[in-house]
Amino acid sequence: WFSDVEVAAAIEVFALTQSYNEDQHPQKVNLGVGAYRTDEGKPWVLPVVRTVESQMASDQTLNHEYLPVAGSPDFRTASTRLLLGEQSPAILGSRCDSVQAVGGTGALRIGMDFLRSRLGFETIYVSSPTWGKSTSVITVITFMSAGNHKNIAKALGYNIKEYRYWDAAARKFDVDGMIEDLRNAPEKSVVILHMCAHNPTGIDPSHDEWKMLAQVIREKGIFPFFDCAYQGFSSGILEKDPWAIRYFISEGFEVFGAQSFSKNFGLYNERVGNLVFVTKDPESVLKVRSQMMMVVRTTWSNSPAHGCRVVATVLNNPALFAEWKENVKTMADRILLMRQQLHDKLRALGVPGNWDHIVRQTGMFSYTGLNPRQVAHLVKEYHIYLLKSGRINMCALTMKNIDYVANAIQDAVTN
């Protein structure tokens, strides 16, 4: 049965880390990794998470029973409140609910599955580029990944289309291109919108641009599905980052929001996600939840409990919540500092080109604008690993390696 199975394409970001791990060069840098790093280049367990986990370790009332199919009610309610805001018209009007998911990926998966299988949506629009899309720079391994939004949509039989997003020449958001592409959307289309801190470009629409997008999405009857993987990482302020989804709700849209707590809680391997849905009336909430539970039941049946307990404990306790906000700000501030440092160093070195986009972008990632040849140069000559698209993780930069990286970029750009 198995001898004719084709080897699947490697997943770039993980293959890159493997190459980095195998590299013995003393100054090697992994700018490709998709997770937060401290200034010592280490993963960070948030102090508030440590506190809660140590309390949980001695809590004799906790057990390993299955969670309900829809997930932990404490977690779902608190997460929905975090995303939509306490005073959300959807919460006050009982027009929303959520289903716990296995990370943000799981939330995207069950949301897309529901729209396809229960409502017959056929076409899905993803940004160009989007999360996970790239090709390898490591010459020994050639691979191509279509991007995870696309991969999920493909598995569900969607017709996949891209909307223009990144204007490579101007290194900014291509609002006109996106609007034009959405204007051509066929009936029964879904659009995946990155709520904030767009991965991989780090560029988000302005409030006015979101308003223009909402207009075309309404005119065309497209379903807006927000990917909310980075709440807190864009501005450092949890209340500010969900502006776009809250705006759509205030304008009367029915929406989905796929939440991930991988980044803002640093709970990457605990797989904590939540799919929030907002409907036009309370009756629809019950219908959607019941169908969504069927989707969950046939996909992973029950969600894991540990990570969601941590998140629910923090979100439901004012003192812990205040501490978490500070932890999120610590991460966001460090990223901002690295943006500023890299920008200033490239300018001080007189590296040709305009590097202002690095400080205009937000979130964990920067689309540097480095081309594949320059990226290959960095890998080969300097042992600096990054995605072929030129995307770098800002917090993989540290006060120790930033000069090395800036000098290497100068060499790559000028040679």
CB-nearer residue toward ligand PLP: 202 or 273: 273
CB 230 within 8 A of CB 82: no
What residues contact residue 150 under an 8 Å CB cut-off, 6+ apart? 126, 130, 133, 160
Whether 131 is a known active-site residue: answer yes
Residue-level length of the chain: 415
Residue 88 tokens, joined: 């959300």
Q: Which is nearer to ligand PLP, 91 or 267 (CB)?
A: 267
Structure tokens at 385: 């690993």
Which residue, 131 or 277, is less far from ligand PLP as judged by CB? 131
Taking CB under 6 A as the rule, does residue 229 contact ligand PLP? Answer: yes
Q: Which of 32, 71, 104, 363 binds ligand PLP (CB under 6 A)?
A: 104
Burial of 212 by CB count in 10 Å (0-12 exposed, 13-18 middle, 19+ buried)?
Answer: middle
Nearest approach, Cβ of residue 35 and ligand PLP (Å):
8
Q: How far is the CB of 270 from ligand PLP (least distance, A)?
A: 9
The token duo for 74 is: 């404490």
- In the list 273, 307, 363, 390, the residue contacting ligand PLP (rule: CB under 6 A) is 273
Does 72 contact ligand PLP by CB under 6 A?
A: no
**Residue 103 in the binding site for ligand PLP (CB under 6 A):** yes
| Distance from the Cα of residue 229 to its chain's centroid | 4
The one segment of 48-56, 67-75, 98-106, 280-288 that binds ligand PLP by CB under 6 A = 98-106
Least Å distance between CB 140 and ligand PLP? Answer: 25
- In the shown chain, the binding pattern of residues 170 to 209 toward ligand PLP, with x for contact by CB under 6 A and - for none, equals ------------------------x----x----------
Counting contacts by CB under 6 A, is residue 34 touching ligand PLP? Answer: yes
- Of 75-83, 100-108, 165-173, 327-335, the window that binds ligand PLP (rule: CB under 6 A) is 100-108
Is residue 227 among the annotated active site residues? yes
128: contact with ligand PLP by CB under 6 A: no
Q: Alpha-carbon distance 112 to 121, whole Å?
A: 9
Asked if 71 interacts with ligand PLP (CB under 6 A), we say: no
Q: How many residues bind ligand PLP (CB under 6 A)?
A: 12
Active-site position among 210, 227, 324, 355: 227
> Which CB, 305 or 351, lies closer to ligand PLP?
305
Q: Which CB sits closer to ligand PLP, 199 or 313? A: 199
x-or-dash pattern for ligand PLP, window 7-26, by CB under 6 A?
--------------------
Residues annotated as part of the active site? 131, 227, 263
Which stretches of the chain bind ligand PLP, using CB under 6 A?
34, 103-105, 131, 194, 199, 227, 229, 260, 262, 273
